[in-house]
Copies of this chain bind each other. A is one copy, B any other.
């Protein structure tokens, strides 16, 4: 079997050095698992993955899927994640895949073959270029660490509720701490004779398999970090082949991946075949066109037109300080009785983290909307590394009397790191919706019986993906219905702020709206992109529009639609209109061609909306319109599988609806 590196307790004890707490935790965790809890790679494939390129990967049924049919991006429900304790089982760990899992290992034999044949090249500015096997890697000293991974898009749904970003709607659980094991990247680079870098100008590039993704020169996902970051042992950059003592799962990079503690997940290349020391940072498409926080007001169009992608100061690497509340959960209720009011307490719980190895030193609660704050109890199940770094999330709790909750409109939380940075009271919108970390606000609603409050109900800001619910949705709906100045204000200011802020502004002063409309343009870029980047830009986010397909006269029937499923001739329907997606655009699609082809020939409305598309995407889509579906039957009836689908919608499973729709249409 492949899992040669089990978490041997003696070995772990040595390898963890100053991390006894984490080691003990890891051991306890593994010992406490009932037999069979580990994901069986030969297990059943989820119905929703049937027919996709990933239809060989068993996945946990309770993961919340965020990007339609394909590719696979998911997070666990927050309460389920927290219930696992400090160390998350890999099968509940959030997944961020840009395309299909490129290393296919549907059988034990395939896994063993990949393990035996995999090579990692270490090339570039090194004296002894290497091409090492997994067995070679395992000869380097083993380092095992509990490390928190966080997608830079964690909590992006809140940004999307203000204005759609170019990213999909992560909820508050795009994170997990597991125990990663492998060798230090520094040891591997030294084995390759990496050169000295006295001026700090070198970088280490990493990339995944070529040809797996639609963008860039070679279709690989690649990025880079400064060489000094990789070489400093305090940073614990790992080339990892085990998670929680077992081989990696397909979704997490089998057979080997990069781990950069304290960084955003987007730099931790999976299915890693290639490492290169180079004089400049990576020019990979995904290095420049992803993982940036651009200033509010920068749009997908202006980002490219004005060169924002190439301004080095807007790259993001270290995670910022963040926290959210798990208890009370969304829609949780609390009975209010005379006894409860007389002295019972409720324990508020949540998670917090800080990037770059910093420690979370405080978690605080506010019952007055962020005006005054009270300190909770923070616990770190890990102990710091021998370099004083904290690489994991923290847990926190706060006991509050039920009587105090009764008097509050919302409960908010925020964390502070050891550098005394904390979370802002309101979000700042950015075009990629990344590193969103305002204070987390849970609204409190009251139910009455015989004139007195009988129950409190808690409401989170949003639910992940396209799941309905949350007070931000309710406020959006209320704003639209009343056609209040709020809506026009929102549009005009490019959504730099949350609904809460706008509300406050509108209430405060009648002239606020006119102030909002006078926002000056952002400062223009101070330098043009480097020449080598212009090529990427030309093929990038805002390509020259392909020629529009000729429009059809009259309605397009479902039968006709169903015939157009090929790459050269892909049609799909969205909200009653039919679009012909030209091959030239398929390869530009940020979500990849496969995610479009998977729904070609069908009504793709639900898939399209679930992913969450930006205003720019809407504009591009309009160029491809070739006609419309017949007016009758209605939108839902237009899907051929309606009789079954409707029953399922009635049961609340829009996911199952889409899966069935696709299967029958295929």
Contact = CB atoms under 8 A, between A and B. Distances in A.
Interface of A: 17-18, 197-201, 226, 228-229, 232, 234, 293, 295-297, 313-314, 316-321, 355-356, 359, 361-362, 367-368, 371-378, 384-388, 400-401, 404, 407-408, 417-422, 424-426, 428, 435, 437, 493, 496-497, 501, 504-505, 511-512, 515-516, 518-520, 522-523, 526
Nearest to A498: B371
A425 B425 contact: yes
Given A200-B386, A228-B387, A316-B420, A518 B375 contact: no
A387 B200 contact: yes
B321 A421 contact: yes
A107 to B, nearest CB: 43
Nearest to A367: B515
A142 to B, nearest CB: 15
How many copies make up the complex? Answer: 2
Contact of A228 (B296, B388, B493, B497): B388
Closest 5 CB pairs of A and B: A200-B386, A421-B421, A320-B420, A313-B361, A318-B419
Contact of A497 (B355, B371, B384): B371
23 contacts: A17-B198, A18-B200, A201-B386, A228-B234, A228-B386, A228-B387, A228-B388, A232-B232, A232-B234, A313-B418, A314-B361, A318-B418, A319-B419, A367-B515, A371-B426, A371-B504, A372-B497, A404-B520, A407-B511, A407-B515, A420-B437, A421-B421, A425-B425
B200 A515 contact: no
A197 B372 contact: no
A198 B232 contact: no
Given A200-B386, A368-B516, A401-B520, 12 more contacts: A18-B199, A226-B388, A295-B362, A295-B375, A313-B361, A316-B420, A318-B418, A320-B419, A368-B505, A371-B497, A372-B516, A400-B520
Of A376, A378, A422, A526, the most chain B CB neighbours within 10 A belong to A422
A496 to B, nearest CB: 5
A516 to B, nearest CB: 6
State the main secondary structure of chain A at its contact with B: loop
A456 to B, nearest CB: 16
A24 to B, nearest CB: 16
Nearest to A401: B520
B200 A388 contact: yes
A437 B424 CA distance: 12
Contacts of A420: 293, 316, 320, 435, 437
Contacts of A321: 421
A234 B356 CA distance: 15
A519 B226 contact: no
B496 A372 contact: yes
A265 to B, nearest CB: 15
Given A420-B435, A505-B368, A515-B367, A296 B520 contact: no
Contacts of A419: 318-320, 355-356, 421
Nearest to A512: B368
Nearest to A360: B313
Contacts of A371: 426, 497, 501, 504-505, 512
A573 to B, nearest CB: 39
B373 A428 contact: yes
A518 B355 CA distance: 34
Given A372-B496, A386-B228, A516-B372, A313 B200 contact: no
Contacts of A317: 418
Contacts of A297: 374-375
B425 A229 contact: no
Contacts of A516: 368, 372
Given A229-B388, A375-B523, A522-B375, A17 B424 contact: no
Contacts of A384: 200
A398 B657 CA distance: 53
Max chain B Cβ within 10 angstroms of own Cβ: one of A228, A295, A368, A385: A368
Contacts of A295: 362, 375
A515 B422 contact: no
B519 A372 contact: yes
Contact of A519 (B362, B374, B511, B518): B374
Contacts of A362: 295, 313
A386 B378 CA distance: 36
A355 B505 CA distance: 33
A504 B372 CA distance: 12
A359 B228 contact: no
Nearest to A293: B420
A505 B386 CA distance: 46
A231 to B, nearest CB: 10
A388 to B, nearest CB: 5
A404 B226 CA distance: 42
Contacts of A504: 371
A7 B378 CA distance: 48
Contacts of A376: 523
Contact of A496 (B313, B359, B373, B518): B373
